[in-house]
Structure 1
């Protein structure tokens, strides 16, 4: 079949030695010959799932505009499991995978996103430092925009000035799009389909999803556009972003049956995947199968994204399904698999995927090259990393100016001061915004704080209205270098400048305090952010605090943070359980019932976690000792 299968016998290059592959419902019909590859050595048989100062931060939290999110999956659990053992009442802070997987845009969930007026705080769900990739939501939007009109509109977006209608909607308050458009019509101004499409694209580009949703509703109610499946799919996507995928699922039932096709369903699937809702994603995929929609590469890629985050063991199932259905992998498929291998430091496996891709005639794109250079750098393979960077750069960096923003941080991670200076010189004197951001990050990695600050000040002069994203890149430099005082001052500047606040800002502030050793302060900041109910803090914010409590052996607060993550909608993964179990190990306390808790959450140990479980079991008292106690 396709080369992914031929890369070695029965996909064994992708299935870890200690992994049991859980068969999904749609894989049960595979032949026994195929099933034999899934025999494994795991100890547990898998079952299938079918899911600054106080006043400075207070100023930010009380800002008039927020980037708003709500989790569609946060209430998916009907019960909360009890602690493995009773937390010690004297634990500190009474006041109330081996590597974390993630690559920013691939990891980015856009759960129920309200836009801010400026489009600030647009990336919800991933650490600023994570690897960039192809965004799930960008894919679904591109898949929806498939008609001649939208193609022309997309081209026009790059060449035409912003229309008067678009300007009026952009300037209006978030809740008054209908009023603006009704007044537009009353004044006798023309409403054309191309203007409406361009406005929609502009709103999406600025991540103003609430306004985009209101525009969609107005277009349908006033009959200015005859709705077809792509329009309903776009509505499903917008409802998911503004109100959550569960609301979008309810809306789907209201769509006329003749327009309730594969595009609508796959758009909803992408949003459930974005929300990391494994159960709903699998149920929807199975429903699409029952409706006899074709199994597409797009849907399989969504499942790969889902399992990359939630359950890597099931990735092999998706690959087998693709082979069975004769679905050829796209470049995005390869990109996901390269990230999976790179994140667990499996360089040989990563290189095999690249060779397979080339054998299929698929040329690595810039994002894949960037990923390869990054993972080579992390693994200490400097020569290989630099060779890939030279490929990205090409013969003339002046002509390939676009590559500068990609090269700067990776050269910095390799400790190549000379290369960073060379590339940075190319960016002078007309430095672009993306280059400023990359340069600040690079100088931070090289611990050249003064250079990072100078680049930041130059960037601020160029910007009419800086956002928290611009402040955040320097705040991260301060956090990584444990410069708490400077971080507090920067937070104060953010508050004074009236920046919008949201998950990215909170993440940077939490990490600033965590890395300065002030975990209780970081915890209290995270608690304030949660109580605001203005957004969903990032996974990385919670895990940073959880890790610190675990390192201290503070079982009480580690358990509290573990539950907060569940309540926030972050379904338990191996990563959380590894951190929580480390708290018991460091406290030299037995983790009673830990394996049962994991089984209840359909979490099964990898080698590292199994080793931790054995270590925690060593603290268990003997029957005689318990009697004497």
Structure 2
């Protein structure tokens, strides 16, 4: 704690987005960022709290080879760098800490570096670190649902379609007729109650029909009988950010009455900045919340943790220090995120210490956290420990514990345990849920049992006549990973015939299908066309798959072109991109002029291993012969 207390006296009031600071490690001094202003200790605390222990346990071991590097290099908030061992393509999908059953976006997945595969986009069988795919960063309830909204969510029931007349009136309309249809519905004497509004909004969000939800929100604000509150305005901010972008959402906030422009509104904007991995903008919003003296909550801090887990793990300890100083109690999500981060860094003992600290705070692991533990044990080669956690997840009666089945299917697939996958699926198969079907398809795919995966997909297709793109995508990834181009192409045609819209996940799977078949130019072409058709930008991992293949071939021209396209799409200043681009120059055996300067301009700093590789492409490197000639 002395290092932390010592550092706290040097905290200065500087803009968060411009200050350069070092990661806070228990064994090294900590230069804190401006978001910790006015949080310094006046006197040493009388004893070490459990939260101080959490900070120590998170910070006690630097991430792999970064430990010496971190102590020597400061960086700006725009750095967004990771070491090559840590880069976890976790922009696999925009993932925000918004609750799947709240009125906000369901969790979207990101992916583990060792595997690019998709599992489900919802619930616990999803994957935050896709590829291995258990969702850690599943959403937290951003808007703190009101009692009526909770009642609406409960009455809707998980997986059931809304029977709301308001919902039907809206989805049967076009963008030009929406207002007229809604007016007509109201004129017919229907009751525009809060429960009706909430049920409709929840169903629209569950189906990701954000455009319709925004139309409803705009119409509701025009109704004199509906009184807008802060959460209604926050919901609008979220929808505008998703449909029209962050800039439009910020402009809308300026129009909100001051009395409703509170913490919920700003943290909703913050969540969407994190969703888009807009580091500088997220930090700016966080600072604004602090300047406005809005309460600092675990939710807002978790957003920063989530952001830095994706972009710069070295800043996580600073956020933990802030939480300790502001006496913000970590939530279960906080611990889940830290445990997963430790696991990704292959620090199993650190992961277990954080779990111990969490339990000392009176929190018990939920299914999601248990799934994270099991997955990280599998990645760490500790199969027996993974099985112990899986047994705890199963409980005494799996038929009564169906909530665990999706995660169990996925992790048993990772373990390579076909018997367990079969056993769990037999529990689900008489009346399977969609997420269980997708987890089973993923598990059989990992086990290279394509016929079994196809059988589950057929079962799913018969039970649900209309499937969305994400359900097709689960099977498409099996074909991609098993290099079955022809079957994959047929499935894509089937998707088109069923009217499925291509989204980032589907595009990612199609690109991978062609890359695995060795058709990199075709994959590149599909990525280019797809990026013009889908409403959101392609996934970070999709670009990286193509960039990595060009780099492997030593194709510098196309590697640089892909690198440039990623920058145009907002994927800038990441270590992973530079590392892959450098491999293109190394494999081509040509010098990379100004490479160090390019990295420095983006605030990306080389690790020791990357620095040694840079020497290989240094056009001006000195050798014994060159020294003699000079």
> Does the TM-score normalized on the shorter chain lie above 0.5?
yes
Query: Residues 498 and 203 of structure 1: is their aligned pair in 2 closer, same or farther, counting only changes over 3 Å?
Result: closer
Gap change, CA 1:212 and 1:289, over 3 Å in 2: same
Counterpart position of 1:561: 562
- Which residue of structure 1 aligns with residue 123 of structure 2? none
Equivalent pair of 1:120/1:500 in contact (CA under 8 Å): no
Alignment partner, residue 520 of structure 2: 519
Question: For 1:253, what is the secondary structure of its paired residue?
Answer: helix
RMSD: 3.4
Partner of 2:73: 45
Distance in 1 between residues matched to 2:371 and 2:455, nearest whole Å:
27
List runs of 5+ in structure 2 lacking aligned partners. Answer: 6-22, 45-51, 99-103, 112-116, 120-129
* Per-residue deviation, 1:398: 1.8
CA deviations over 1:377-424 (Å, ceiling 9, x no partner): 112111111111111001111221222221112112111122112112
Compare 513-522 and 541-550 and name the one that shifted more.
513-522
1:185-334 pair list within 5 angstroms: 185-334=186-335
**SS of structure 2 residue aligned to 1:189:** coil
Counterpart of 2:95 in structure 1 is 108
CA deviations 1:446-490 (Å, max 9, x no partner) are 111111112211211112112221211111011111122221222
Match of 1:148 in 2: 147
User: Structure 1 residues 122 and 287 mapped into 2: Cα distance closer, same or farther (>3 Å)?
Assistant: closer
The aligned runs of 1:55-454 (5 Å cut-off) are: 97-101=84-88, 107-108=94-95, 123=108, 128-129=118-119, 130=130, 131-133=133-135, 138-139=139-140, 142-158=141-157, 162-454=163-455
Q: Closer, same or farther in 2 for the Cα pair 1:448/1:183, shift >3 Å?
A: same
In the other structure, the counterpart of 1:25 is: 34
Gaps of 5+ in 1: 6-13, 52-96, 112-118
Structure 1: how far apart are the matches of 2:484 and 2:324?
A: 51
Deviation at 1:429, TM superposition (A): 2.7
- 1:495: how far off? 2.1
User: Could you give the per-residue CA deviations for residues 271-306 of structure 1, whole angstroms, max 9, x where no partner exists?
Assistant: 111111111111111111111112211111000011
Pick closer, same or farther for the CA change 1:372–1:603 going to 2, 3 Å: same
Q: Distance in 2 between matches of 1:409 and 1:541?
A: 22
- Tell me: CA distance 1:457–1:156, structure 2 relative to 1, closer, same or farther (3 Å): closer
Match of 2:584 in 1: 583
Taking a change above 3 Å as real, the CA distance of residues 619 and 390 of structure 1, as seen in their structure-2 partners, is farther
Distance 2:507 2:629 in 1: 49
Conserved in 1, the CA contact under 8 Å of 2:70 and 2:314?
no
Q: Which deviates more from structure 2 when the two are superposed, residues 184-193 or residues 18-27?
A: 18-27
Distance in structure 2 (CA, Å) of the matches to 1:163 and 1:533: 29
Secondary structure of the structure 2 residue equivalent to 1:143 = coil
Q: CA deviation at 1:29?
A: 6.0
Residue 371 of structure 1 deviates from its aligned partner by 0.9
Does structure 1 conserve the Cα–Cα contact (< 8 Å) formed by 2:442 and 2:478?
Answer: yes
Please say if residues 331 and 362 of structure 1, whose CA atoms lie closer than 8 Å, have aligned partners that are also in contact.
yes
Q: Is the 8 A contact 1:273 1:306 kept in 2?
A: yes
Instruction: State the shift of 1:627 in Å.
Output: 13
Q: How many angstroms does 1:513 deviate by?
A: 1.1
User: For residues 279 and 156 of structure 1, do their structure 2 counterparts lie closer, same or farther at Cα, with a shift above 3 Å needed?
Assistant: same
Cα distance 1:26–1:164, how it changes in 2: closer, same or farther (>3 A)?
closer
Supply the distance in 2 between the matched residues of 1:25 and 1:134 (Cα, whole angstroms): 28
The change in CA–CA distance for 1:544 and 1:102 in structure 2 (over 3 A counts) is closer
Of residues 416-425 and 426-435 in structure 1, the stretch that sits farther from structure 2 once superposed is: 426-435
- Please give the secondary structure, in 1, of the residue aligned with 2:255: coil
Q: Cα gap change, 1:151/1:612 in structure 2, threshold over 3 Å: closer, same or farther?
A: same
Alpha carbons of 1:195 and 1:331: their partners in 2 closer, same or farther (altered >3 Å)? same
The verdict on how the C-alpha distance between 1:442 and 1:250 changes in structure 2, with shifts beyond 3 A counting, is: same
Contact 2:136 2:340 in 1 (8 A): no
Residues 525-550 of structure 1 show CA distances to partners (whole Å, capped at 9, x for unaligned) of 11111233643111111010011111
Q: 1 CA distance for matches of 2:72 and 2:592?
A: 18
8 A contact 1:300–1:318 mirrored in 2: yes
Report the alpha carbon displacement of residue 308 of structure 1 after superposing the two structures with TM.
Answer: 0.8
Q: In the alignment, is residue 502 of structure 1 matched against residue 500 of structure 2?
A: no
Count of equivalent residues: 564
Indicate if the aligned counterparts of 2:205 and 2:213 stay in contact, CA closer than 8 A. Answer: yes
Report deviation, 1:626: 12
Displacement of 1:338 in angstroms is 1.4
SS of the residue 1:398 aligns to: helix
Change (3 A) 1:532 1:21: farther
**Equivalent residue of 1:150, what SS?**
helix
TM (norm. structure 2) is: 0.82
CA contact (8 A) 2:91 2:310 kept: no
After the TM superposition, which residues 454-533 of structure 1 pair with which residues of structure 2 at under 5 Å, given as runs? 454-532=455-533
Deviations along 1:122-174, one digit per CA (max 9) or x if unpaired, are 958766241343656x43xx332443332333333339962222222233335
Whole-Å separation in 2 of the counterparts to 1:374 and 1:31 = 38
Q: What CA deviation, in whole Å up to 9, does each residue of 1:498-528 have, x standing for no partner?
A: 2221211110010111122211111111111
Q: Structure 1 residues 503 and 297 mapped into 2: Cα distance closer, same or farther (>3 Å)? A: same
Distance change in 2, residues 1:143/1:105 (3 Å): farther
User: Where does residue 13 of structure 2 map in the other structure?
Assistant: none
TM-score (norm 1): 0.82
| Contact residue 372 and residue 385 of structure 1 kept, 8 A | yes
